[in-house]
Amino acid sequence: MVQLDHLEKNFGAELAVNDVSLAVKEGEFVTLLGPSGCGKTTTLRCIAGLERPDGGEIRIDDDTVAAPKRGIYLNPEDRNIGMVFQSYAVWPHMTVFDNVAYGLRVRRASTDVIKERTTKALELVGLPHLADRYATKLSGGQRQRVALARAIVYEPRVILFDEPLSNLDAKLREQMRVELVRLQKEVGITSIYVTHDQSEALVMSDRVVVMNNGVIQQIGDPQTIYAHPANTFVANFIGVANLMQGVLLGRSGGLCDIEIALGEGRAPLRLQAAGGDGAKNGDKITLSLRPEDIDIKFEKPSSGANMFEGEVTETVYLGNVLECRVKVGRYEIGIQVDHYEQIAPRQKVFLSFQPEHGLCLTQ
């Protein structure tokens, strides 16, 4: 439904979007995820027609909507897309019904069509009872629903979302994630969503596109992005990861044998982990460990693989879990344990992980 081929966008000397290629299938929910300044919003604005790309091509359905080298550029109103902005852009002088119906009136739809489609759109977002209320009398969540109804009422081919939940409080944001996904699946419309919130991306998306410095770092479903990051940037940006630098010693049983120097006169760690594709013996390796995949013991086990000793430096109570920082040589390892555990700073502990839960990264 949406095809980006080698898309580029410059702002002066800065290359904001660098050779981005992406295919979004019909009915798919794809999220562009990354830190501020990574190029995700610029990519979205190029798709919308709010920015003119400097290179590459954009196709929506069978129509080429932007191709600078061929002199093709369709204005936003000619692309048949819907867009939900971060600020909602709901007009305060109009009622909810008139806000939603605006796109149909601009397209000169008949009175009967306007009434039928607007009513249906308001029913989909759960606001038919507020049709006559002015936007100034709505809560943030209700305004977000109005903006969504307005975007879908004229049945666009694609809906673009520019961080639409960022202005909501945490509880409402979680609720609206579920509602938005439910609505998207019910309508079946192709959706491209921009956010810097990794939890939003993981919860809502069919696929996630991780970007940094204008370049796509990895594309995959949420499970793959989280469990098998392509590089250290993705590992560190998606969730929380402990990254330790080491050297590949060899392979055994489909796993990497690695050595990690701890400094401070301590003997290096010899560990096993998955991944390391394409690496050769002696190559530098980054070991990525998720906090929830690390086990903690308070007495040294008699046996076990991938075990190392550390000292607790800090604990943070978060209600459902207790986060701990454990110093292991020159590294501080973050772990998560059950909230009822009694752990104090300066306490010696023993950490371990299953080899398949560690991941060796080569870049």
Which among 302, 336, 343, 301 has a CA at the least distance from the CA of 321? 336
pLDDT attached to residue 136: 84
Rounded Cα gap, residues 363 and 231, in angstroms: 5
Containing H/E element for 32?
Answer: strand 29-33
Q: Write out pLDDT tens, residues 276-325.
A: 988 999 999 999 999 999 999 988 888 778 999 999 999 998 888 889 99
Residue 88 pLDDT exceeds 80:
no
Rounded Cα gap, residues 153 and 160, in angstroms: 14
pLDDT attached to residue 241: 92
Phi, psi of 19 (to 5 degrees): 55, 50
Last residue of a domain, one of 201, 216, 236: 236
DSSP states along 172-237: HHHHHHHHHHHHHHHHT-EEEEEES-HHHHHHH-SEEEEEETTEEEEEE-HHHHHHS-SSHHHHHH
Last residue of a domain, one of 195, 218, 236: 236
Weakest mean pLDDT among 50-59, 239-248, 340-349 = 340-349
162 and 41 in contact (C-beta within 8 Å)?
Answer: yes
Last residue of a domain, one of 236, 263, 290: 236
Please tell me what DSSP assigns to residue 96.
Answer: H
Q: Write out pLDDT tens, residues 127-162.
A: 999 999 998 898 888 888 898 899 889 889 999 999
Residues 221 and 291 in one domain: no
Residue 268: give its domain's CATH number. Answer: 2.40.50.100
Residues 109 and 7 in one domain: yes
> CA 225, 278, 211: angle at the middle one, nearest 5?
30
Residues 294 and 277 in one domain: yes
Residues 200 and 261 in one domain: no
Residues 20 and 89 in one domain: yes
Residue 149: give its domain's CATH number. Answer: 3.40.50.300
Residues 134 and 160 in one domain: yes
Q: Which residue range forms the structural domain that includes residue 220?
A: 2-236
Residue 347 pLDDT exceeds 90:
yes
Residues 110 and 250 in one domain: no
pTM: 0.88
Q: Write out pLDDT tens, residues 190-230.
A: 999 999 999 999 999 999 999 999 999 999 999 999 999 99
Residues 61 and 147 in one domain: yes
**Tally of structural domains, the chain:** 2
Residues 97 and 200 in one domain: yes
Contacts from 259-263 at CB under 8 Å and sequence distance 24+? 260/287, 261/329, 261/330, 262/328, 262/329, 262/330, 262/331, 263/329, 263/330
Q: Tell me the C-alpha to C-alpha distance, in Å, between residue 143 and each of 36, 133, 151, 352.
A: 25, 11, 12, 48
Residues 254 and 296 in one domain: yes
Residues 105 and 227 in one domain: yes
